[in-house]
Structure formats: structure tokens, C-alpha cells
Structure 1
Amino acid sequence: MGTIYVARSKGLQSWGADVGLGKNLYAIGYVEDGTPEDTLAAGLAGEKDWVLVKAQAAGDTDEAALLERLGRKEKLVDPAYYPRIRGARGLVKVDPVKVENSMRIRKALETGQEPKEIKVKPADIAQYLINNALG
């Protein structure tokens, strides 16, 4: 049984803002053995400052299937296009408006009322990505 995780890196987010990708870049991955921290400590996309945002048990699946499902809803960054992140799979450009709309709909269905102001946090983005990858 594996674990799906979402992480973020301040260095990668500032680089993404500089090259036009935006600052909402997250990494999503799957580890079958070990912990996500071990994978992130090895460095991804040339960055060593990765912070684990959320991890969750994912059952029997593989990373390719998770990324394919997530790619239907969100824009995956092509690692072949940017020399700095060459070979880094699982980088996602997230639109916070989509996350907010998803949260609004979920809360409206749960409570039956329109939710008041919603502020999207990194943990909310991580849960949104995990739900769409497992979905």
C-alpha cells in the first residue's frame, strides 16, 4: 500500500513566478516504500527546500495512473520544456480559483447554505490535488 503526497518549494514557486508559470506550483507524487520525506530530501526539480503539505494512503495504484487522472483536471508542467526542471515529474500548476470553487460547492452541498468568504490555504490545495488524483 502506497502513499500519495503533495509538497511545495518556495524556491520553485519563486522561479515559476519569474518564468511565467505563476507561484502556485506544487509537486504531487506517490511512494510505495518509504516516506515522502525521503523522496523530497533527495531533491526534486533542483530544489532542496521541499515542505510536505499533505500525505494520504493511496491503496494499490501507481504514479503514472495518478498523474493521468490529475492531468484531466489540472495543468501538469511539462518537464521537457523547462531546462531547470528537466526530468521532474508531478509538478502541477494550480489555479486557486478552481480550488475555491470546489470548496464552495462541497460546503454548499454539506450545509445546504452558501458559504461565506473562503480563503484557500496550501492544505486545501493539497487535498484538492489528492482528491482529483485518486478520483
Structure 2
Amino acid sequence: MTDMLYVARSRSLQDWGGEVGLTKHLYKVGLGVGTAKDIEQSLSAAQCAGRGDWSVIKCVEAEGLDEADALTRLAAKEALIDPRYYPQIKGERGIVKVKPANVENHFLVQNALAGEHQKAVRVIPLTIAAYLLRAAAG
């Protein structure tokens, strides 16, 4: 089985983030083994961040990528949640606080550099996942 770099979300974690004033745009980025379904099951079974409702949005093969390196690259673009400040997430690393404006700007610049027509970017979970994977993979 190959290692996969994934972006997952938990609706209950996002609801909690919105309630406490953190943000509702919380995602988990990490390395897992197997298919997206396998990763979902392992995150939910392990009660990752104290949640059991994980769903993998998108995953790609991690060609020689280390999880610590991926999170370091990602931290340069978006804020990683420090698990020491939020006991609710049970010490889980790799929880990212995403600013939708950063996602939109990333894709607008990418389209402009490619010479494509400027069009509005819909910031949906799949778009956010693509942005996070690109940032983490370098």
C-alpha cells in the first residue's frame, strides 16, 4: 500500500470551531495508508481530534513525502492549530485553520499566470482541499 497525502474534514469539528470563534474552516491534513475510504475509517475509528465523523475530501500519492515536512510547508501558507491551546482536539496535529480569501487569491493568481480568463472562484471544500494539498506537497 502506498502513502497518501490527504485532506479530511469533520462536520462536528467545524461546528465546534465556529462556536468557539476559531473558524468553521478547519481541516485535517496528514499522511495515511490505503484508499480514501481506508483513511476515513482509520481517522474515525481512532477518534482523531475527539471526532468520529471524518470524511476524506481529496488525497494524492505522497511520493517520498514526510508528514512533518508537509505540515511545515503548509504552515508557511496557513495557520496550523496548536493542540496545546485547544484541549478539545485531543492533541491532534495537522488541523489547519483555512482563510477562504487565501484560497480564492491562490486560484486567481494561478489563473492569471496561466493567461486564463479571470473568473470568480467558488471556495468549496474540494477547492480548499486542492489548495491545501498543493501547499503541503510544495
Q: Once the two structures are superposed, what CA deviation does each residue of 1:62-111 show, in whole Å capped at 9, x if it has no partner?
A: 11111111111110000111111121111000000000000111112223
TM-score (norm. length: structure 2)? 0.90
What is the CA distance between 1:120 and its match in structure 2? 0.8
Q: What SS does the corresponding residue of 1:45 show, helix, strand or coil?
A: helix
In the alignment, does 2:121 pair up with 1:133?
no
> Within 1, Cα distance between the matches of 2:16 and 2:126?
21
> Within 2, Cα distance between the matches of 1:68 and 1:107?
26
Partner of 2:9: 8
Q: Which aligned segments of 4 or more residues in structure 1 are displaced greater than 3 angstroms?
A: none
Matches within 5 A, 1:1-135: 1-31=2-32, 33-34=33-34, 35-42=38-45, 43-113=47-117, 115-135=118-138
Aligned-residue Cα RMSD (Å) equals 1.3
**Counterpart code for 1:120:** V
Structure 1: stretches of 5+ with no match in the other structure: none
**Counterpart code for 2:126:** A
Aligned-pair identity in percent equals: 47
> Within 1, Cα distance between the matches of 2:87 and 2:40?
25
| Count of residues in Structure 1 that have an aligned counterpart in Structure 2 | 133
Q: Contact (CA 8 Å) 2:65, 2:137: kept in 1 or not?
A: no
Q: Once the two structures are superposed, what CA deviation does each residue of 1:6-59 show, in whole Å capped at 9, x if it has no partner?
A: 01111000100111111000000102x334223322221111111110010011
TM-score (norm. length: structure 1)? 0.92
**Counterpart code for 1:39:** S
